[in-house]
Structure 1
Amino acid sequence: MDIRLLRIDDRLIHGQVATTWAKSTGISRIIVVSDQVASNSLQKLLLKQAAPPEIKAHVISVSKLIEIAGHPLMKDVKVMLLFTNPSDVMESYKRGIPMKVVNIGGMKFTEGKQMVTHFVSVDQEDINAFQYLDAQGIELEIRKVPSDRKQLVIDVLKKGDFL
């Protein structure tokens, strides 16, 4: 599997992902990786329909990602892995999914979370996952679209006194 972009965006497949990021990375597949979403047949159907016609979309669990990652049929497939949260990214890394950069595109505000940018909110579980990934030498960049200036999530967390 040729991972062209590994992104956290709880909006999943939407305009920015389906157009800007897909074109800039040259992917042929978007793989949404979420145990919760993978168990919701309606949400799976809607997400598959949201992808551009030239890009195949799949919705799978973290375990399924681990299972298919090394499969010979996936060897040269250019993919975007799309996650809803950093804990699933951390779990995927721990289970053997290689990564150098994680793009953070959007994590909505919900009860128990705090805003760190105008489109990224975190709780302690998110912070712990980000710290773990950072300690592994993985770059954690906040950018909505490719043309945005990179912000490193650890720097943003430090500046906001979250660390």
Structure 2
Amino acid sequence: MEIKLARIDDRLIHGQVATVWAKEAGAQRIIVVSKEVNEDEIRKTLVKQAAPPGIKVNIVDVEKAIKVYQNPKYKTETVFYLFTNPSEVVALVKGGVPLKTINIGGMQFRNGKTQITKAISVSQRDIEAFYELKELAVTLDCRVVATDPKIDFEGKLKEAVTN
């Protein structure tokens, strides 16, 4: 399986992902890796309906994503992984899926989160997961759209920790 792109965006498939990132990835399949979405039939249906034409979409939990990655049947597939949070990215990488870079695009503000960019808010658990990804040699690429300049995401995380 060839990984074309991996992105955290808790909105999953929406305008930017369907038009810009899917084109940028050039993958045959989008795999949404999220236990929460996988267990929500309505959300699963909505995500599949939002898929760009000609791209297959699967919604799975981390364990299933690892099994699919390891299955020789999918060896020639090109994929675009989408996540809602960094903790599931950590679990996927620890499970043997070799992500080199994770694009961080959107994580909505909620109670208990700190806003670190216009589009990204993080909890303490998120911060710990991002640091763990760095330890696992995964590059943190923070851009809302592909043409945006890269942001010093680690600097933003450090600011969030000290505030």
Smaller-chain TM-score bracket: over 0.9
Partner deviation per Cα, 1:115-161 (whole Å, 9 max, x = no partner): 00011000110000001111222110110111011124212222x25
Identity of aligned residues (%): 48
Unmatched runs of 5 consecutive residues or more in structure 1: none
Task: Tell me which amino acid in the other structure corresponds to 1:84.
Answer: T
Unmatched runs of 5 consecutive residues or more in structure 2: none
> Which residue in the other structure is 2:84 paired with?
84
The count of residues paired between Structure 1 and Structure 2 equals 162
CA RMSD of aligned residues (A): 1.1
> Which residue in the other structure is 2:161 paired with?
162
Runs (4 or more) in structure 1 with deviation over 2 Å come to none
**Other structure's SS at 2:149 match:** coil
Matches within 5 A, 1:92-107: 92-107=92-107
Q: Distance in 2 between matches of 1:137 and 1:62?
A: 19
Partner deviation per Cα, 1:25-54 (whole Å, 9 max, x = no partner): 211111100001001111111111100121
Q: 1:73 deviation in Å?
A: 2.1
Contact 1:85 1:126 in 2 (8 A): yes
TM-score normalised by the chain length of structure 2: 0.95
Task: Tell me which amino acid in the other structure corresponds to 1:40.
Answer: D
Matches within 5 A, 1:1-163: 1-158=1-158, 160-162=159-161
Q: Using the TM superposition, name which of 3-12 and 134-143 deviates more.
A: 134-143
Task: Tell me which amino acid in the other structure corresponds to 2:9.
Answer: D
Contact 1:10 1:85 in 2 (8 A): yes
Assess, with a 3 A threshold, how the Cα gap between structure 1 residues 54 and 153 changes in structure 2: closer, same or farther. Answer: same
Contact 1:139 1:152 in 2 (8 A): no
Contact 1:32 1:83 in 2 (8 A): yes
Q: Distance in 2 between matches of 1:126 and 1:153?
A: 13
Assess, with a 3 A threshold, how the Cα gap between structure 1 residues 58 and 155 changes in structure 2: closer, same or farther. Answer: same
Partner deviation per Cα, 1:78-135 (whole Å, 9 max, x = no partner): 1110000000001111111111100000000001000000110001100000011112
Task: Tell me which amino acid in the other structure corresponds to 2:132.
Answer: Y
Contact 2:20 2:145 in 1 (8 A): yes
**Other structure's SS at 1:96 match:** coil
**Other structure's SS at 2:161 match:** coil
Assess, with a 3 A threshold, how the Cα gap between structure 1 residues 101 and 152 changes in structure 2: closer, same or farther. Answer: farther
